[in-house]
Structure 1
Amino acid sequence: MVDVELRHLATMAAVVEEGTFGRAAARLGYTQSTISQQVAALEKSVGGPVFERPGGPRPVRLTPLGTVILEQGRDLLAKAEALADAVERFKAGDGRIDIGTFQSVSNVILPAVVRRLRDEHPGCDIRLSDVPEDPQIGDLDLLFYDRPVDGDVERVKLVDDPYYLVTRPRDFPDGPVPLKRLDGKPVVGCHAACDQVWMDQALADADARPRIVFRSPGNETILSMVRAGLGWAVLPWLALHGSDVQSDDRLAIHELRPAPTRGVYLHWPATSSQSPLAVRAIEIATEVAADLTKQAPAGRI
């Protein structure tokens, strides 16, 4: 393998572009003897002359070997410049970040996170993917989930997100509803890939076993079924906040007693160094979650 240094290739390119060693030295801030030494080192590396030196004021000319070296060398210099630029952009917070997310976070937390990241780093590449049931951090930089994820990860709890009962108006008087009241009643539920398995257990612990009449992974579909009178729904506050249910006069929201509550967590790999972009995303997500907490009913979510 030919052992060529990038600085020698840069010197060669400058000589070709300027025509003489002297003008190349002035451009690069070197002495002319330094230029000669670097060209000599390059020629030693490739095993032959790269320039014909006519002497006097006449410009130097490339040898056939020099033409081959320069053609390939320009590609290497361009790639080296691109690499340096990518490193600088990475250090400045640009680059790519892969985030696993789920419905409530995608609708309520992530829009503010993505907007602020893009405002601060317009060149960043943010890629989102829906988390499956039993997710793993894998190749993701960040992972939002409503339970702690196993594996070699670090995490922060963003919010405690209580569940509420969604009904049609006048199905219940104003005020909290005991979970026990759902026993045997028609309820529109989520798919198991959401948090229905966990929710079913919370209901069972309260001796409430509602009759699931329809399942959907989409919060908007579930709410539409409640509006149509198919049944009630039990949904977390983030889902209701993202759907702006509070302003919908076709629906009523009731606290549940006791109130099932899920945690919403943000995870990242514990074994790798986080990019500046990922670090900033964690900071912003934490700030957005804190702001949401202030907006929640009775100051809590």
Structure 2
Amino acid sequence: MRKLFSKKKKPNELLALMDAIKADPDNPEAHSALAQAYSRRNRHYAAHAVMRSAATLDATVENPFQAIPAVEHLSLDHNKYYRFRTLQRTLQDLAGDLPEWSFLDVGGGDGQLASFLPEAGYFLAEPIANGLDSNSLPFEGESFDFVVCCHVLEHIPKAARDDFLDGLMSHAKKALVLLNPFDMGTSAKEEGMELFVEYANAGWAKEHLECLMPKTEDVEAWAGSRNYDVTVQANGTAPVTFLSEMFNVFSKNVDRGRINTFLNTHYVDGVDSETLPNGYLLVISRRA
């Protein structure tokens, strides 16, 4: 799981509430208390996602923190919005006509994806949001229809990736969905990360360089050795992603929300590049 490279130090109350969840992860009241603390800090995505997690543990829990409306999603960072829309569509396609379905969101930050999929059962496992990771969950195996892991694998050391993927798959009844940057066989990714380290001292970029980018063929080999099916689909466009992220570094005195709304309204559909993808969407499925 990712290291805690967040620049902002968490208030003692949030840390104490996360410790309470780590000590008793199947206690819905502990999750509820953390959700309420997030709400008081106007972290509405996190409040909604963590309370959804509490409701997964106890179906009688009511969530007072509603899913963020789709119109408000448009002001999200363009790269993140694109990821969430990709995952939203992918999970809805996989779920098909299932009357009820659920997914586990591993490494999902503030759990924004939960608001993109209000119809599904949901649980968040994120060390920097609720103190949990994929190895500390209060569930039996295959407790969720799907497991989602977005932009996390590149933060896992290469030697630990097979075990990490095994852990993710152990929670999935049907499929594991990975959305990730991968080694593209050129130096461009590494050079780009070096620029983010140089200009922004970006902790996430340092981890990319330290852990090395995963390769799709390694994930495919892992899946094949476990008798899983896997599909691989190009996602995003590398130069657009790079420039959008660099925009975040230098755009200190502009209305980012307005610019992101423009991008997310007009430039989301049909921008996956087969020749210059930013990453790949992999769906690893259990065979019938």
Both proteins in one fold, TM over 0.5: no
| TM-score normalised to structure 2 length | 0.28
Q: Return the structure number with greater strand share.
A: 1
Larger Rg: 1
